[in-house]
Structure 1
Amino acid sequence: MNEKGAPIVIVGAGQAAARAAQSLRTQGYAGNITMIGAELHAPYERPPLSKAVLCDDTEPTLEVLTATQFTECNVQFMPGVRVLRLDAEARLLHLDDGRQLSYGRCLLATGGKVRELPDLPQGAPRVHYMRSLDDARMLRGVLTGGIHLAVIGGGFLGLEVAASALRRGARVTVIESAPVLLGRFLPQEVSSWLSEALRGEGARIELGQALRAARTDAHGVEIELGSGEIIRADQVLVAIGLLPEVALAQDAGLAMDEKNGGILVNTACQSSHPDIFAAGDCASQFNAHLDRPMRIESWQNANAQAETAAAGLLGLPSAKQAFPWFWTDQGKHNIQMLGLGAPDLAYVRRGHLNEAKAVWIGHREGVPVHGIALNAGGDLRALRPLFETRKAFDTADFETSPLPLRAWVKSAMALQSTET
């Protein structure tokens, strides 16, 4: 690529965008980089929004890159600007301020947007969604002691906010349409433990409850459940998932993943157009560890794909694909996961739930597929090599062996080697 020609333009200014810009520089690119962000903020970390931003006495530092690092990246940053149209053939971006911007290659790091409930739209009084720093600040401002917060959606984000609200002294009701919390991600044993832990902290949890109707007025929020019960609250958070922000890609004619809605990219994060790449929440990439295209909404995936995309933009080989990893802080408890759950997995456990410290392996005929650690992140890191072998292990021995976990992993992998 001609480094003196049209710049690399990054559309988006989140985690993936910032790390991609940094990686372009560390991988040797000396040309122009332009980053366009719809928000006025410089790139910031989103995981603390539902936790530290809501709870800490002083708002934490959220920047993805320090001011010095951002300066060293030598990026032309355009905050508060939206891209209205992407003309792939002309290599041209049409901006909402009337300008047009040409590029040599483009990275779409547009992230996602919240799913909305028609009865509780964004911007309505007493209604909150959690995607941006401004969203978090607004919710924090109303989380005074004694208010009643209704949380619609018992996913990771909803439960994180529920725990933070309890910590701030609010009363909390969580409304989840599924019969269990996080049923797509956790086995029944872990889900039940988490439900009871939250109830123990004071949350009311309504499971298996569809939302029939909702309305707000000057006095509060009224939520009608499928059972007919009316729940009245002072404020409501809607946390029912994320949609990939792919309008630009669709309008430009890029190939999309029909199953998960993401922009289809190859191993280099290159889209169906050779000069357009995508990374982060908006991208769907085949995952070699899970044997299918995936759109993974995680901090780790944003960082990993940013590095891969930077290499792809420069025509360089990319690093080996990492095993998917995710974490969530549920109040005082930390849950980490490797891979993804599935209905047909069997689980084995080490540790004790009554001590709130355990690790599980979800397997298919002994082949590890899904790892979960409750307040035991180090144990999950120790298990990662076992997952990467994609070979069967002795499930009974995992539960009963007296060996410390790291020693057990070495023993299990040595046994795998003798069996091949």
Structure 2
Amino acid sequence: MYRYFTAAKALTGFVRVTTPCARRAPEPARFYSTKGPGKPPDQRRPCSQPTKPIEPCRPKVALKEKCKSQMDDQPKPCGPWKEAHKKKNDNYNRILLLGLATTIGTLLLMWWYGAFNTTDDSDKSKKKKKISREVEKIPKDSSEIPSCVPYLLVGGGTASLSAFRAIKTKDPKAKVLVISTEGDNPYMRPPLSKELWFSDNPEAVKNLTFKQWNGKERSLFFEPEEFYVQCMELMDKPNGGVAVARGWKVVKIDPDEQIAYLEDGYQIKYGKCLVATGGSPKNLPLLENCANQDVTDRVILFRSIPDFQELDQITQEAKSVTIIGGGFLGSELACALGRRGKQTEMQVNQIFPEKGNMGKVLPKYLSDWTTEKVKQEGVKVIPETFLENISFEDNSLTLLLSNGKKMKTDQLVVAVGIEPNTELAETSNLETDEDCGGFVVNAELMARTNLWVAGDCSCFYDVKLGRRRVEHHDHAVVSGRLAGENMTGEANAYKHQSMFWSDLGPDVGYEAIGIVDSCLPTVGVFAKATEKDTPKAVVTATGNGVRSETETAAKPVKPSCGDMQPPKDGEDYGKGVIFYLRDDIVVGIVLWNVFNRMAVARQVLQEDKKYEDLNEVAKLFNIHGD
């Protein structure tokens, strides 16, 4: 450093530099010669003698005035080395800036990968935030949505899908606009709790494709993306089409003026309108009033594609998951997650207040059998129990149960049913049913002039069973189709007895129709099951996993001719028919591992009469395969 400082001063003319020898103590004179060793110089001066000073600048005559210094001027370097010196300094500066940028970049990368995070993995999980659920609006601006359309469908679920298919069938050049709050095009909900969980291909799950029980791959979406047209192009299409405005919400409908209002005030004039807003998953009152963000971030109300995607991601690493609810959805999810838990060593718990799985639907003996089946899938079933309190401790949820026990879990899934989306009733002066919920409609599913309602949110009058509201896929399909036909000029009444189905994996499934309530008296007739009596077998035979469609296409079944034989030991509840009675009249039927017999069940309900011997009625279903 001293040498550099001295050299810098010498260059600027502040000091005069002497040879190093002059600063040391005197010593005997030494002479140096360039004439070779042993030849003393003619005239040499010992190095101890002082040298002449080194002048900082000796300009040529032409530069004398330029280099001339004044008393107050700082010495300035001049001469031929000036440009080289500047070039060298610029090079040093570039190296310095490059090194500084490299250092900053390295520090940023270290910060990004958590090198400066002193917390352990448990602290990271504590700070983990819930996946964002913000829905992207497509189109981004409401001005790109047509302001006047012949057909307007409010809601983007199964009922709307079925309605626009019916409209296009009756009116091929129809122009249909769908307004959906969801960020996806219409899709099937049943596979979200069934087949999607049984896929071993992560890429297929990411793309929302799944294998049916027969191994055939299918997309979750009803139609491919190219089927739909852009909203702003809809009215210019000579052959019509279907456009879906995703992420938008209709907040008000004026039935008299036939105008729908979006959340930003944008108005859409319609000719015919269908309300098919569906339902939203119910929550527990305890969780609705919970102000702890750490708790609410670890609760999923399961219903939609984002719910599936979030739960799928969480269960890749979670050590434990607890499901609240013992109905169709809760039991299906329990079996699906139990299968995954066997692969990842994840503990799966299921809590519900009933005595057994699907205890509100199945008779006790069959509910108990189903509970054992769920347990065999690796699920810890906790019946007759409800959640009393919940807290966040040690980076996980602590559940206080009604039996006094505490339970730790990483994630809570709530599957306790849905409630109809009827917010439009108040803003649009539409009538709702106090007992069943939903918009009140007539037999043609009409709520007001040129305004129909279909799907989960419709409350219709059943001539056999009274006013009802049904929350199943088959009802959404059939009611949506009938509403769509009536929007094109038909005047058909809704007389369909909708069915529903549930699968506890590929080996056990059932279908039901009518009023199936475990509080009603039941009569069950069972037989030994075979390899053909499984959901997997029926999908393999028909090539279709949507059983409301396979039942519609099923061929008639010949009744049994022989006597009904009770099942032997070990054959209990392999397959069978359960009749639900009210005043000794069959009002509901469950087909347990019996498929393609729904037409027979509808016929029995249509009879609306008392039967002296239900064993004879069971022969109509030919469960013994005669």
Structure ranking higher in strand proportion:
1
Q: In the alignment, what sits opposite 1:111?
A: 278
Deviation at 1:51, TM superposition (A): 2.0
2:222 partner letter:
V
Range with greater deviation from structure 2 (76-85 or 238-247): 76-85
The answer on whether the counterparts of 1:382 and 1:406 sit within 8 Å (CA) in structure 2 is no
Quick check: 1:397 aligned with 2:615? yes
Deviation at 1:311, TM superposition (A): 2.2
Q: In the alignment, what sits opposite 2:244?
A: 77
Quick check: 1:287 aligned with 2:287? no
Range with greater deviation from structure 2 (121-130 or 154-163): 121-130
Range with greater deviation from structure 2 (346-355 or 218-227): 346-355
The match for 1:147 among 299, 303, 319 is: 319
Range with greater deviation from structure 2 (145-154 or 198-207): 145-154
1:141 partner letter:
Q
1:246 partner letter:
T
Distance 1:216 1:282, change over 3 A: farther
The answer on whether the counterparts of 2:179 and 2:249 sit within 8 Å (CA) in structure 1 is yes
Question: In 2, distance between residues paired with 1:364 and 1:73?
Answer: 49
The match for 1:120 among 287, 294, 312 is: 287
Quick check: 1:137 aligned with 2:355? no
The answer on whether the counterparts of 1:129 and 1:238 sit within 8 Å (CA) in structure 2 is yes
Greater RCO structure (CA 8 Å; 6+ sep): 1
Deviation at 1:393, TM superposition (A): 3.3
Distance 1:380 1:107, change over 3 A: closer
The answer on whether the counterparts of 1:346 and 1:364 sit within 8 Å (CA) in structure 2 is no
The answer on whether the counterparts of 1:349 and 1:399 sit within 8 Å (CA) in structure 2 is no
The answer on whether the counterparts of 2:282 and 2:301 sit within 8 Å (CA) in structure 1 is no
Quick check: 1:203 aligned with 2:379? yes
Q: Secondary structure at the residue paired with 2:156? A: coil
Quick check: 1:375 aligned with 2:593? yes
TM-superposition CA deviations, 1:153-202 (whole Å, max 9, x none): 11111111111101112321111123333233211122111111111222
Question: In 1, distance between residues paired with 2:439 and 2:620?
Answer: 47
2:499 partner letter:
W
Q: In the alignment, what sits opposite 2:581?
A: 363
Distance 1:145 1:78, change over 3 A: closer
What does residue range 283-362 of structure 1 map to in structure 2 within 5 Å? 283-290=458-465, 292-318=466-492, 321-331=495-505, 332-342=507-517, 343-352=519-528, 354=572, 356-362=574-580
The match for 2:260 among 82, 93, 98 is: 93
The match for 1:256 among 425, 432, 435 is: 432
Deviation at 1:82, TM superposition (A): 1.2
Question: In 1, distance between residues paired with 2:472 and 2:361?
Answer: 14
The answer on whether the counterparts of 1:171 and 1:203 sit within 8 Å (CA) in structure 2 is yes
Question: In 1, distance between residues paired with 2:197 and 2:602?
Answer: 32
The match for 2:336 among 164, 170, 177 is: 164
Deviation at 1:317, TM superposition (A): 3.0
Question: In 1, distance between residues paired with 2:620 and 2:152?
Answer: 55
Q: Secondary structure at the residue paired with 2:179? A: strand
Question: In 2, distance between residues paired with 1:147 and 1:223?
Answer: 15
Question: In 2, distance between residues paired with 1:320 and 1:269?
Answer: 7
Range with greater deviation from structure 2 (326-335 or 340-349): 340-349
Q: In the alignment, what sits opposite 1:44?
A: 187
The answer on whether the counterparts of 1:174 and 1:205 sit within 8 Å (CA) in structure 2 is yes
Question: In 2, distance between residues paired with 1:136 and 1:73?
Answer: 34
2:180 partner letter:
G
1:134 partner letter:
P
The match for 1:212 among 357, 365, 388 is: 388
Q: Secondary structure at the residue paired with 1:103? A: strand
Range with greater deviation from structure 2 (163-172 or 208-217): 208-217
The answer on whether the counterparts of 2:163 and 2:485 sit within 8 Å (CA) in structure 1 is no
In the comparison of the two structures, how many residue pairs are matched?
402
Q: In the alignment, what sits opposite 2:222?
A: 64
Distance 1:167 1:315, change over 3 A: same
Question: In 2, distance between residues paired with 1:26 and 1:349?
Answer: 42
The answer on whether the counterparts of 1:166 and 1:201 sit within 8 Å (CA) in structure 2 is yes
Distance 1:264 1:111, change over 3 A: same
What does residue range 19-38 of structure 1 map to in structure 2 within 5 Å? 19-28=162-171, 30-38=173-181
Distance 1:392 1:145, change over 3 A: farther
1:295 partner letter:
R
Deviation at 1:289, TM superposition (A): 3.4
The answer on whether the counterparts of 2:149 and 2:177 sit within 8 Å (CA) in structure 1 is no
Q: In the alignment, what sits opposite 1:414?
A: none
The answer on whether the counterparts of 2:498 and 2:513 sit within 8 Å (CA) in structure 1 is yes
Question: In 2, distance between residues paired with 1:337 and 1:53?
Answer: 23
Q: Secondary structure at the residue paired with 1:63? A: coil
The answer on whether the counterparts of 2:255 and 2:449 sit within 8 Å (CA) in structure 1 is no
2:166 partner letter:
S
The match for 1:236 among 405, 408, 412 is: 412
TM-superposition CA deviations, 1:366-400 (whole Å, max 9, x none): 53221112221234444332232223334353389
Range with greater deviation from structure 2 (175-184 or 108-117): 175-184
Quick check: 1:388 aligned with 2:555? no
Quick check: 1:193 aligned with 2:369? yes
Range with greater deviation from structure 2 (155-164 or 183-192): 183-192
1:277 partner letter:
W
Distance 1:393 1:399, change over 3 A: closer
Distance 1:32 1:403, change over 3 A: closer
Deviation at 1:319, TM superposition (A): 6.5
Give the share of equivalent positions with the same residue, in percent: 26
Question: In 1, distance between residues paired with 2:369 and 2:617?
Answer: 19
The answer on whether the counterparts of 1:127 and 1:235 sit within 8 Å (CA) in structure 2 is yes
